[in-house]
Amino acid sequence: GGADLDCDMLVLGAGPGGYSAAFRAADLGMKVVLVERYATLGGVCLNVGCIPSKALLHVAAVMDEASHFESLGVTFGKPTIDRPKLKAHKDKVVGKLTGGLSAMAKMRKVTVVRGVGAFLDPYHLSVEETTGATGQEKTGKKQTVKFKNCIIAAGSQAVHLPFMPKDPRVVDSTGALELAGDPKRMLILGGGIIGLEMGTVYSTLGARLDVVEMLDGLMQGADRDLVKVWQKMNAPRFDNIMLKTKTVGAEATKDGILVKFEGEQAPKEPQLYDVVLQAVGRSPNGKKIGADKAGVTVTDRGFIPVDIQMRTNVPHIFAIGDIVGQPMLAHKAVHEAHVAAEAAAGEKSAFNARVIPSVAYTDPEVAWVGLTEDQAKAEGIAIKKGHFPWTASGRAIANTRDEGFTKLLFDAQTHRILGGGIVGTHAGDMIGEVALAIEMGADEVDIGKTIHPHPTLGESIGMAAEIAHGTCTDVP
Ligand code: FAD
């Protein structure tokens, strides 16, 4: 059939995966069409994820820090919070970045088509125009895009529990980022990174928190010793941390959302909350794009299987980002995007990252990469550990933030680094060095003999390596 537009490369979805793929494909000389339902580019990460959450977390961290200054001889007044203004600040941060993406798309002559895309066959996508910020409304206008190659980057959506009432007081992360209302009591459903980050923001703005988690600990995936430091510092925010417990029902009442629990640490009575944040995971959008019409395989859960070049079972169609699997992280999506675009251009690129770092941007931050100690134990991997407590870091003490630590895990035989974890302020900014060391196959001497600037928190990485090697003179 006829097409309204025709291109070498169609990219479906303009999140970190999609825009990175589109830009790389354009740089490689392809004529690119980028299809996106949102009003702006940037996907979940820039519009309703990584960036707006960090804009709010920064404000929360400064407020928390200031509240501890009395003992240092500095007293600030009690903060007053203008929520509309705070929200406007967050929106401005997002706008700067998404606006920047639009300019970059223009510069590269990437054609952005606004609307919801669905495959018609392996070479055509139908796009129905949308309006509104997140493109929930459709105008009915349709066009067909013909493509030679395609990269699916349609991302994921928050999981909503079926028994949760449809009520403005029940929100997912997107709703929580809107900062509506001024909850005094808030329930976080799911003890993962997204829930705990948003909980940190609301708690600093005045909410008491409860958190419920089905598994036996918060921040799954991170070593327990890292999480313990965060948990101890953050205990005052919580009334109730309910582990091995789940919600089994909820009811919207005049006074709040009444939630029922079941499990090991379930309260006997249903609990009343001003706001309930659903943060129980994200599900991939694989089943919502007509993939079957293109012959692209989608798993029962909605993921799209791909090979090492990010190719689906259909050779000219690639998939990247949250839609291809865990970990659902922006930096993973970006790297996969470059591989897919380059592979489509005939290059020999492949996605073979040894490790992908994870960061909880809580206060303190928790960051880890590669092998964890819990994993090493479970799999019987012989490791040598270097553990550097920040009570021995001049900078951490000067910052009055010495609760953290840095640990590195080395192969007991080869002494090469296998993994690392950091808990403390700016842990997320430091974990990249550990990732680099792993990618380079560095050993404890390489890291320990690398001169780090003093006094920095980053020194703790060199020290941890020296501790593993037995040559550290700075720790008693
Ligand atoms: P997405 O960003 O989900 O983008 C997919 C895009 O496709 C969307 O814009 C969507 O509108 C569009 N789309 C989907 N279907 C269609 C269709 N049929 N037609 C047209 N368009 C369509 N990750 C980190 O690495 N660091 C963080 O700090 C971090 N914080 C987060 C905080 C929150 C609150 C949330 C929710 C997520 C966070 N993430 C973070 C995860 C991160 O946002 C995702 O991993 C990342 O956005 C995935 O990128 P993507 O390109 O695969 O998909």
Question: pLDDT per residue over 152-188, tens digit each?
Answer: 999 999 999 999 999 999 999 999 999 988 999 999 9
Query: Could you tell me the distance, in angstroms and rounded to a whole number, from the CA of residue 329 to the centre of ligand 1?
Result: 8
For residue 2, what pLDDT is reported? 78
Alpha-carbon gap, residue 400 to 387, rounded angstroms: 20
Please report which confidence band the pLDDT of residue 270 belongs to, taking 50, 70 and 90 as the band edges.
very high
Alpha-carbon gap, residue 189 to 260, rounded angstroms: 12
Amino acid letter, residue 323: I
Query: Could you tell me the distance, in angstroms and rounded to a whole number, from the CA of residue 404 to the centre of ligand 1?
Result: 30
Q: Can you tell me the ipTM of this complex?
A: 0.99
Query: Could you tell me the distance, in angstroms and rounded to a whole number, from the CA of residue 323 to the centre of ligand 1?
Result: 9
Catalytic residue among 331, 415, 454, 469: 454
Ligand 1 atom at minimal distance to the Cα of residue 50:
30
Q: What is the percentage of the chain residues whose pLDDT exceeds 90? A: 96
For residue 473, what pLDDT is reported? 77
Alpha-carbon gap, residue 42 to 48, rounded angstroms: 9
| Residue ranges around ligand 1 (CB below 6 Å) | 12-18, 35-38, 43-45, 49-50, 53, 116-117, 153-156, 173, 194, 285, 288-289, 321-323, 328-331, 333, 361
Ligand 1 atom at minimal distance to the Cα of residue 43:
9
- Reply yes or no on whether the pLDDT at 1 is more than 60: no
Alpha-carbon gap, residue 173 to 51, rounded angstroms: 12
Ligand 1 atom at minimal distance to the Cα of residue 157:
3
Amino acid letter, residue 85: K
Return the residue whose CA atom lies nearest to atom 12 of ligand 1: 13
Alpha-carbon gap, residue 303 to 290, rounded angstroms: 13
Return the residue whose CA atom lies nearest to atom 27 of ligand 1: 50
Query: Could you tell me the distance, in angstroms and rounded to a whole number, from the CA of residue 24 to the centre of ligand 1?
Result: 18
pLDDT tens column, 417-466 = 999 999 999 999 999 999 999 999 999 999 999 999 999 999 999 999 99
Please report which confidence band the pLDDT of residue 367 belongs to, taking 50, 70 and 90 as the band edges.
very high
Over range 118-135, report the average pLDDT.
Answer: 95
Over range 368-373, report the average pLDDT.
Answer: 98
Query: Could you tell me the distance, in angstroms and rounded to a whole number, from the CA of residue 211 to the centre of ligand 1?
Result: 24
135 and 154 in contact (C-beta within 8 Å)?
Answer: no
Ligand 1 atom at minimal distance to the Cα of residue 18:
51
pLDDT tens column, 49-99 = 999 999 999 999 999 999 989 999 999 999 999 999 999 999 999 999 999
Mean pLDDT of the chain: 97
Ligand 1 atom at minimal distance to the Cα of residue 54:
28
Alpha-carbon gap, residue 202 to 212, rounded angstroms: 16
Sign of the dihedral through C-alpha 285, 287, 288, 291: positive
Q: Of 20, 24, 44, which is best to mutate to test ligand 1, by the most ligand atoms within 8 angstroms of its C-beta?
A: 44
338 sits in which H/E element: helix 330-344
- Taking the complete model, does pTM exceed 0.90, yes or no? yes
pLDDT tens column, 225-259 = 999 999 999 999 999 999 999 999 999 999 999 99
Alpha-carbon gap, residue 222 to 216, rounded angstroms: 13
- Reply yes or no on whether the pLDDT at 474 is more than 80: no
For residue 205, what pLDDT is reported? 96
Q: What is the CA radius of gyration of the chain?
A: 24
Query: Could you tell me the distance, in angstroms and rounded to a whole number, from the CA of residue 418 to the centre of ligand 1?
Result: 29
- Reply yes or no on whether the pLDDT at 476 is more than 70: no
454 is catalytic: yes
- Reply yes or no on whether the pLDDT at 364 is more than 90: yes
